A and B are shown apart, each in its own frame.
Chain A
Amino acid sequence: MTPSTPVSGAGGTPLPPVPALEARSLTKCYGKLVACDRVDLAVQRGEILGVLGQNGAGKSTLMNMLLGLVRPDGGEIVVNGHPVVIADPVKAASMGLAMVHQHFSLIGPLTVWENLSLGEKGRIDADRTRRHITEVARRYGLDVDPDARIDHLTTGQRQRVEIVKCLMREPDVVILDEPTSVLTAAESVELFLMLRRVVQEEQRAVVLISHKLDEVLHATDRVAIMRSGRVVADRITEGATAMELAREMIGRDVSLRGGSAAIGHFEAPADTGRETDEAVPGDVQPTVLSIREARAVGPDGRTLLDGLSLEVRRGEVLGLAGIEGNGQKALGDLLSSVLSLSSGVVEVAGRAVETGRPGAMASAGVGVIPEDRHVSGCVLDMSVADNLVMGDLEAVSRRGLLRRRQVAEQATRLVEEFGIAVSSIDAPMRSLSGGNQQRVVVARELSRSPQILVAAQPTSGLDVGAIEYMNSRLRRAAEEGTGVLLISTELEEILELSDRIAVIHRGRIVGEVTRRQVDLDRLGMMMGGQAA
């Protein structure tokens, strides 16, 4: 299982090194959508290859094929020069391919050692597994307690467990999927230092999947850029600039300014654009949403909100920045009437709203674009028209009966107003692209003229065009007088849109800055929970 040396030629003359892992013309289609289109990719031992691309560029599909989670439709996978078929994750592991998963590879109610013993063979030997964990953890300078239960760990700790789990199998190729999305800046730096050791001292190959330019620039040796299922560039990282990579990643026809939220272009905080808006004096406008000292506890006894207070005024965008899992979801749930508070007050337009009672927030004037729009934002198997009018059925019904004609009129009007590309208003929601599904949700929420619009991760999974539309729509909603609460883990998106920025950490607001005072370092510190 130790990394083998490159194959030498018969006469002892070294051939060009055989890649540890190679994809040749790998293709995968989902119906009409070509997720991966003849992808060629190779990674050598001792190098870190960045795979850069936006959401939906085909990175995940590619990796899922390499790990045996998805069967390719064409092309081949070559490991150490031998073409192989990878039927399942077990096969992938036996070939030395291992992945550090971001979200779903650890089992909460089990302990660390039990988790790491899964996927091995033979008898369970708790002590041996514990020793193995400690040894691997020490080798890479990771602090991991083998007897801790996974669901008691923080996200950062869980990721360390994921890394140990991956490295315990002594893989030749380590694949990391968006590893820094849950980490603070400092933790990310630590991670990259460790990866450097993995490639230099142990001659493993590392594939780093990312959509963040700065991290690819800093951490990788070579970068392959994917766009619309194709590898559009494959180059040495040294000497590349963020601008060049961004251009390849989003295509030349999109302005960098518009795309900057999507690509994680960190260098230019969005001071471009709407200078005119600065003239709107925030404190003159009345407060439309006020949350004071909100506390809530989850069903498992975990604190979700810990004295959170915030205010959104009419006509402004308040950006709520923070690392995933710090209470954003609870806040979204609270404003969707899903979560009830144990103490604290929520006021919409000056009136207190009962928390947790279904529909209370909505009728008080809160519109929500939920984070998981496929699950709680719409009903995929119902028609576009039904989805559009669902928010306020009173308006399209009489004496408890739906008026089909009013439904159709309302739906047609919204489809036109929001430019929803759809063959017919009776088409099932499922048949729409992600961007158009999002438009349906936005159209429905805005059609009720809410006092406050909550947008949770509104652009995740959307393509650049859809992101630009989304952003302009949110701005317009604010200009028309709605208070917008933008909850996002993408700092760039927040910088681009917000008038004020609040930072959430462990269920409370730890700091607030106005747009003009933005200081990236300070924001980063606050997001990481350090007083700034």
Chain B
Amino acid sequence: MSDAVTTIAASAMRLSVPLAFAGVGEFVAERAGTLNISVEAMMLSGAYAGALGSSVSHNAALGFLWGAAAGLLIAFIHATFSHRLQANTFVVGLTLNVLALGLTNYLLEKIQMSPRQVGVVSIPLLSRIPVLGKPLFAERWPAYLLMIVVPAAWWAVYRTRWGLEMRSVGENPKAADVTGVHVNRRRRQGLLVCGVLAGIGGAYLSVAEVGTFNSNMTAGRGFIVIAAVIFGGWTLRGTLAGCLLFGGVDALRLALPALGYTINSELLVSSPYLIALLAMLFFARRVRQPGALAQPFERGAS
């Protein structure tokens, strides 16, 4: 039994890592006031570019840079359209999501590639702790980056001037503007941060976890990430808890057949989304979202 627990826990961790990267990014973007739905496109293109990059450079680690760059590119497009040209952020996000899906499918057919996979790094001693050792301390090495990314994001958002300005444009852009904060610049930056992290999260799927790229590899994980931020009440801690929860549900889904339970597989596939909906049902009303979430800002418009 403890074997099964270890397996499921390990799988839950593995499945949570890409969500966590993207979740931290989405948290930053949403605190700055962008309800960024193109996080799905960022992850998907990150996954594709990660695979392509590792194949071209024969180096799995470089794949992550490619993934980050692809996420950044999507973020740049999104930011330019919605926080420079004032296009509706949801229209832009939806368009990017569809575009990323079509484009990666097309490129997948056009370009032959042989992606690499990064290795597992087991931390000596710690990884031998019973039950929890393997899930926590025997991961593909980019997972350990989270130990830097999460505290860094927390510090940047809650302790730096940049972060204070970021939160202020998410809460009340008008007030921030008259106080001398560049509202749309901060919002663009929030999106760019999200792009890089979601790109890495996507690349983790292809280059670390699976070792290749499949069509529509993210399969809505971007939306799960948005749900995780809502579930977490727009706090970093809560967002990570949400990512872990949804990763865990996903792991259970994979493990149940192996444990001998048979449930309709179509239903099982939808379970993380169902849980996400339920989570929002219970949590979305209880917490305060950033005051100006998803509201565009244009100076002089009242």
Residues of chain A whose beta carbon lies under 8 Å from any beta carbon of chain B: 64, 67, 69-70, 88-90, 93, 99, 101, 104-110, 114-115, 117-124, 165
Q: When A69-B299, A122-B161, A124-B161 are in contact, do A110 and B168 touch as well, CB less than 8 Å?
A: yes
Check if B165 sits within 8 Å of A118, measured CB to CB: yes
Q: How many Å from the CB of B277 to the closest CB on chain A?
A: 22
Could you say which residues of chain B place their CB within 8 Å of the CB of A93? 180
A105 to B167, CA, bound (A): 14
B180 touches A107 (CB 8 A): no
Task: Please judge, given known A-B contacts A107-B171, A108-B172, A108-B291, whether A118 and B164 are in contact too, CB under 8 Å.
Answer: yes
Residues of A within 8 A of B291 (CB): 107-109
Residues of A within 8 A of B161 (CB): 117, 120-124
A89, closest chain B residue (CB): B180
Within 8 A of A (CB), among B9-50: none
Contacts A69-B300, A109-B288, A124-B159 given; indicate if A118 touches B171 (C-beta within 8 A). no
A89 touches B177 (CB 8 A): yes
Whether B2 sits at the interface, judged by CB under 8 Å, is: no
B178 CB contact (under 8 Å) in A67, A114, A123: A67
Contacts of B160 in A (CB 8 A): 123-124
B residues in contact with A90, CB < 8 Å: 180
Q: Give bound CA distance, A121 to B172, whole Å.
A: 19
Q: Kindly state the separation between the CA atoms of A117 and B180 in the bound complex, as whole angstroms.
A: 11
Q: How far is the CB of B177 from chain A (nearest CB, A)?
A: 7
Could you tell me if B180 and A88 are in contact, using CB atoms closer than 8 angstroms?
A: yes
User: Whole-angstrom distance from the CB of A182 to the nearest CB of chain B?
Assistant: 16
| Residue of A whose beta carbon sits closest to that of B288 | A109
User: 7 closest A-B pairs (Cβ-Cβ)?
Assistant: A119-B180, A90-B180, A119-B179, A107-B172, A104-B174, A89-B180, A118-B179
Nearest to B171 among chain A residues (CB) is A107
Candidate in B161, B177, B179 with the most chain A CB atoms within 10 angstroms: B179
Of B159, B164, B165, B171, which is in contact with the most chain A CB atoms at under 10 Å from its CB? Answer: B164
Contacts of B168 in A (CB 8 A): 107, 110, 115, 118
A120 to B180, CA, bound (A): 8
Docked CA distance A298–B109 (Å): 56
Q: Which residues of B contact A118 (CB under 8 A)?
A: 164-165, 168, 176, 179-181
- In the complex, whether B107 has a CB less than 8 A from a CB of chain A is no
Scan residues 252-302 of chain B and give those whose CB is less than 8 A from a CB of chain A: 288, 291, 299-300
Q: Which residues of A contact B299 (CB under 8 A)?
A: 69
Q: Which of A70, A104, A121, A124 contacts B175 (CB under 8 A)? A: A104
In the complex the two chains form, is A106's CB within 8 Å of B175's CB?
yes
* Min distance, Cβ B173 to any Cβ of chain A, angstroms: 10
Q: How far is the CB of A434 from chain B (nearest CB, A)?
A: 13
Q: Tell me which of A70, A105, A123 contacts B179 (CB under 8 A).
A: A105
Say whether, besides A110-B167, A124-B159, A104 and B181 are in contact (CB < 8 Å): no
A253 to B177, CA, bound (A): 41
CB-CB contacts of B134-171 with A at 8 A, as 1s and 0s?
A: 00000000000000000000000001110011011001
Residues of B within 8 A of A110 (CB): 164, 167-168, 171
Say how far B182's CB is from chain A's closest CB, in angstroms: 8
Which residues does chain A contribute within 8 Å of B165, judged by CB atoms?
Answer: 118
Residues in A neighbouring B180, C-beta threshold 8 A: 88-90, 93, 118-119
What are 11 A-B pairs with beta-carbon distances under 8 A? Answer: A88-B180, A89-B177, A89-B178, A104-B174, A104-B175, A104-B178, A107-B291, A110-B167, A118-B168, A118-B181, A165-B179
With contacts A104-B174, A110-B171, A124-B164 taken as known, whether A89 is within 8 angstroms of B288 at the C-beta atoms is: no
B167: min CB distance to chain A, Å: 7
User: Which B positions have Cβ atoms within 8 angstroms of A?
Assistant: 159-161, 164-165, 167-168, 171-172, 174-182, 288, 291, 299-300
List B contacts of A88 (CB < 8 A).
180, 182
Which residues from chain B contact A114 at a C-beta distance below 8 Å? 164
Query: CA separation between A108 and B288, bound complex, in Å?
Result: 12
B204 to chain A, nearest CB (A): 33
Most B CB within 10 A of own CB, among A64, A88, A107:
A107
Contacts of A67 in B (CB 8 A): 178
B176→A107 contact, CB < 8 A: yes
Q: Closest CB of chain B to A375's CB: distance in Å?
A: 11
Question: With A and B bound together, what is the CA distance between A414 and B123 in angstroms?
Answer: 81
Q: Quick check: B178 and A69 within 8 Å, CB to CB?
A: yes
CB contact under 8 A between A70 and B300, given known A108-B172, A124-B159: yes
Which residues of chain B come closer than 8 Å to A119, judged between CB atoms?
A: 179-181
| In the bound complex, CA of A208 to CA of B195 (Å) | 46
Cβ–Cβ < 8 Å partners of A107 in chain B: 168, 171-172, 175-176, 291
Asked whether, in the complex, the Cβ of B172 is within 8 Å of the Cβ of A104, the reply is yes
Known contacts A90-B180, A93-B180, A118-B179; 11 additional CB pairs below 8 A are A89-B178, A89-B179, A99-B178, A106-B172, A115-B179, A118-B176, A118-B181, A119-B179, A122-B161, A123-B160, A165-B179
* Chain B nearest Cβ from A158, distance in angstroms: 11
A64 CB contacts on chain B under 8 angstroms: 300
Docked CA distance A299–B159 (Å)? 29
* Chain B residue with the shortest CB-CB distance to A91: B180
Nearest Cβ on chain A to B136's Cβ, whole angstroms: 34
A99 to B168, CA, bound (A): 19
**Which A residues lie within 8 Å of B167 (CB)?**
110
CB pair A105 B164 closer than 8 Å: no
Looking at the assembled complex, report how far the CB atom of B172 sits from the nearest CB atom of chain A, in whole angstroms.
5
Query: How many angstroms between the C-alpha atoms of A89 and B174 in the bound complex?
Result: 12
CB nearest neighbor in B for A165: B179
Taking the closest CB of chain B, its distance from the CB of A478, in whole angstroms, is: 33
B165 (CB) vs chain A CBs: closest residue: A118
Tell me which of B164, B171, B178 has the highest count of chain A C-beta atoms within 10 A of its own C-beta.
B178
In the complex, what residue of chain B is closest to A90 when comparing beta carbons?
B180
A295 to B86 CA separation, bound complex (whole angstroms): 41
A contact residues around B175 at 8 Å (CB) = 101, 104-107
Nearest B residue (CB) for A106: B175
Which residues on A sit within 8 Å (CB–CB) of B164? Answer: 110, 114, 117-118, 124
Which residues of B sit under 8 angstroms from A101, Cβ to Cβ?
A: 175, 178
> With the chains together, A89 CA to B176 CA distance in Å?
10
CA distance A147 to B175 in the complex (A): 19
CB nearest neighbor in A for B299: A69
Residues of A within 8 A of B181 (CB): 118-119
